[in-house]
Amino acid sequence: MAREFADLVQGKWDEMKCVCVGLDSDVRLLPPVLGDDDLNGGKQFRFNRAIIEATADLVCAYKPNSAFYEACGSRGIEDLQRTIEFIHEMAPEVPVIVDAKRADIGNTNRAYADYLFEYLNADAITVHPYLGRTTLDPFLERREKGIFVLCRTSNPGGGELQDLVVGPTGRPLFQVVAESVATQWNENQNCGLVVGATYPGELTMVRDIAPDLPLLVPGVGEQGGDLEDSVRRGRRRGGIGTVVNASRSVIFRSRGVDFAEEAALEVSAMNKRVVACLRAA
């Protein structure tokens, strides 16, 4: 039976889990204990495997950023594919969101979709809205996948365009994107929005505009976003509704031999904070 992203993430929300571990496995930061690439697998895959083995029962999802693997050429792409395969085998109930931020004209997007969904076997991806709805058809037509559209990103310069007042209603562009995705693009009930934890006010606005869409919330940890505040502001009617991502603060909490154990301790602590926050609401 085909994997359904919506069912997978809902299963994790039912377990009161919403913490996503970003597998942004920058080779320059990997623990020295991993040594060099060898015949038993590339360094990125071996690092990811250890993190996954330590955290698989704790997470809502995993989110590898494709840039860190593409930077390593064919070996990195192979490590990304093997990482996703390993997650599917070891933790088949945990969805994988590939943070690829793809956007192009339709036929190019079809090739991207084949690569991300057929070769890599991702359960969900991130995409840009700038080229418009019809160019995203090759992604949106995949009913079983999750399509997270960039809305209000976590980086400090995101407002340069996202906060521009546009259209006859005089609203910021990110609000227009949120409404368009919620009311026009989500015909297959597989859309979500990316909203950074570093902009809590905007997170509240997006949730008000799109009360039912899943939100992917990056920016917790190294970027300074607040975990509990993000969970409260992003919560949707009748459930959690957010996938809150932490990357460097989890996977690089230690660069010693205990790197995987330390990552698990951090995710476990985050889970306890999420549960306490939800119960207090």
Catalytic residues: 101
Q: What is the distance, to the nearest Å, from the Cα of residue 23 to the centroid of all Cα atoms in its chain?
A: 10
CB 54 within 8 A of CB 263: yes
CA distance 39 to 34: 13
**Quick one: tokens of 57?**
């029962």
CB 103 within 8 A of CB 66: no
For CA atoms 45, 47, 51, 54, give the dihedral sign: positive
**DSSP H or E stretch at residue 180:** helix 173-180
Q: What is the distance, to the nearest Å, from the Cα of residue 136 to the centroid of all Cα atoms in its chain?
A: 18
**Quick one: tokens of 229?**
């505040």
Ranges assigned E (strand) in 77-212: 97-102, 124-127, 146-152, 165-166, 171-172, 191-195
CB 281 within 8 A of CB 241: no
Residue 173's nearest CA partner among 157, 195, 196, 151 is 151
Residue 263's nearest CA partner among 46, 18, 54 is 54
Name residue, tokens 């080229």.
131
